[in-house]
Amino acid sequence: SETESKQRGLLIVIEGLDKAGKSTQCKLLTKSLNAINIPSKYLHFPMRTTAVGKIIDDYLNKRIELHDSAVHLLFSANRWEYEAEMISDMKSGVTLVVDRYSYSGVAFTAAKPGFSIDWCRGPEIGLPRPDLVIFLSLSQDVAAGRGDFGEERYEVDTFQKKVLSNFKQLIEPEWKILDASRPIKAIQKDIKEQVLEVMNEIGECVIERLWT
């Protein structure tokens, strides 16, 4: 039937530390996929415009204080509130280009004292599993050259180092690690190549779930 033969959209996630160029690359990718008639949508977590996202934004900008466990669950809830839409988009053939996902969720909270990677994974279990994860790798020196940290919580050198070591524990063999110190166009070329490759492999495969 028509639905069976239609290729589903992919879930593409771009991860990396602060200033690695995630937003820049996600937006370029979304644009260039749409330009070649691959319907695509840009998603950015945290999605600060929802009710949950507004609390996260208040927290990141230090307007409110929250229990670390509560914050973790809110970041996760912020993804769950998009789950149904993500699934229906993918089923209707829309490829999602996602700027940060559960991996950021785990890596950041687990950088706080008393939080294990295992506990942090819990609320993420069952979310749609990405078809491709691209990790933009950037040394702290080069990142520093892209401007000072902002005023947000977590934008602190020592904290980012812990986050990086957590990301390293989350990396799976099929992740693509790209050197993000290169020019924007060169990185984009690599990303697009990876995406088109995965697109050929996935076909009509079912959407898998995270960490099950």
Examine residue 155 and tell whether it contacts ligand Z5A (CB under 6 A): yes
167 binds, among Mg ion, ligand Z5A, none (CB under 5 to 8 A by kind): none
Assign 3-class secondary structure to the chain: CHHHHCCCCCEEEEEECCCCCHHHHHHHHHHHHHHCCCCEEEEECCCCCCHHHHHHHHHHCCCCCCCHHHHHHHHHHHHHCCHHHHHHHHHCCCEEEEECCHHHHHHHHCCCCCCCHHHHHHHHCCCECCCEEEEEECCHHHHHCCCCCCCCCCCCHHHHHHHHHHHHHHCCCCCEEEECCCCHHHHHHHHHHHHHHHHHHHCCCCCCECCC
Q: Which of residues 77-136 bind ligand Z5A (CB under 6 A)?
A: 100, 104-105, 108
Q: Which of residues 11-30 bind Mg ion (CB under 5 A)?
A: 23
Work out which of 15, 18, 89, 131 binds ligand Z5A, going by CB under 6 A: 18
108 binds, among Mg ion, ligand Z5A, none (CB under 5 to 8 A by kind): ligand Z5A
Q: Supply the minimum distance, in Å, between the C-beta of residue 107 and ligand Z5A.
A: 8
Work out which of 9, 22, 52, 123 binds ligand Z5A, going by CB under 6 A: 22
Q: Supply the minimum distance, in Å, between the C-beta of residue 21 and Mg ion.
A: 8
Examine residue 75 and tell whether it contacts ligand Z5A (CB under 6 A): yes
Site of interaction with ligand Z5A (CB under 6 A): 16, 18-24, 45-46, 60, 75, 100, 104-105, 108, 146, 154-155, 183-184, 187
Site of interaction with Mg ion (CB under 5 A): 23
